[in-house]
Each structure stands twice: as C-alpha cells, then as structure tokens.
A = this chain, B = another copy of it.
C-alpha cells in the first residue's frame, strides 16, 4: 500500500489561502433525521460481501448496503482483499476494482479502453498540481470532520439539556397539579360546609 504519497518533504505549500474562513459553527443541518438517508451515492467500492451480484458495469449502483441496518450480523464480511496490483500510477483505489474483480470471471480485461499508464488520465501522481490538490483536500477533510465532531457534540449536549429541562418541567407540573388538587379539595369542602351550615350566607350558589 504504501501510498506513494512520498513526502515531497517540507514542501509546505504555505500559500493555502484560507479560502473564506467560514468555520461556520452554524448549527447542524441535522435535526432533520434524514441525514442518514442521504449520502450514499458513492459506488466507490460498493461491493461489500465481496460476492455482490452481477452488474459488472459501471453503474453508480448507489446504496452500498452499508447504511441502514447491517443485517444484524451477516454484514461486515470481508470484501476487499482483491485489489488490482496497480503497479502503474494506481489509477483509482476503489473504483474499477469491481471491474477487475469480475474480469477474472467474466471478461478479459479490456486492454486499453482505460488505464493508460502514461501521465494521462488526470494528474500524474507526483506532480505538484496533484500534491496541491491533495493537500487542499486533506485540509478540507480535517475541517469538515471537525465540524462534524462539533455538531455531534452539540447535539449530544442539546439532548442532555432537553432532558434536564424535561425533568424540571415535569416537577413543575407535579407541583401545579398538587396545588390544584388542594384548592379543589378545599373548595369542595367549603361547598359541603356551606351546605351543612345552612343556606344563605351569601354563598352565591
């Protein structure tokens, strides 16, 4: 594995350009409960149980059966463990693997339609351009994950606060209910009393 990714040591890319330091802190778009249903359009390496029916094509074939319920114990079977050797440039880590995988059984690997070992098809792995892109993305990823962490933490805190608030409100309700009971009881007693004491004492009814 090894990630090439060879140092490019201390090439700091000090430029970086904060790119509109939003940093948000914007409250989560979650709360909609639908946040899980979205985001699964990767196709990336959507072969989970390494068996995975047909569809050797390049369909996006969303939903990599990883979301939702993982079938409660049947999932999490190994599924990678067969990767192309990719001695040249390593075209893509996940995609195409499916093709490769089934080409063993179905197709003779289409010799040249894709995968040109030369510095074509995007960026050469060690170009400065590539490293710049990677570095920027790495920064963005860290930022995004921090944001997600903060969001999760906020949600948890909110849940805790709501729970406490809930408790307080319930106590309040109990207290009010008790007061009401007392007053009502008192009134009913007075009502009886007034009846016992006789009629007109100005008790309007």
Contacts and interface: CB of A to CB of B under 8 A. Distances in A.
Contacts of A2: 1-5, 85-90, 125
Interface residues of A, number: 92
A106 interface: no
Given A67-B149, A194-B202, A202-B194, A78 B180 contact: no
Given A159-B159, A180-B179, A183-B184, A36 B135 contact: no
Interface stretch (A52-60, A69-77, A108-116): A69-77
Contact of A131 (B30, B73, B81, B135): B81
Given A2-B87, A78-B135, A159-B159, 6 more contacts: A2-B5, A14-B78, A162-B163, A172-B173, A176-B176, A183-B187
A139 interface: yes
Contacts of A33: 153, 156-157, 160
Given A8-B81, A170-B169, A176-B177, A86 B193 contact: no
Interface string A63-100: 00011001011011110111111111110010000000
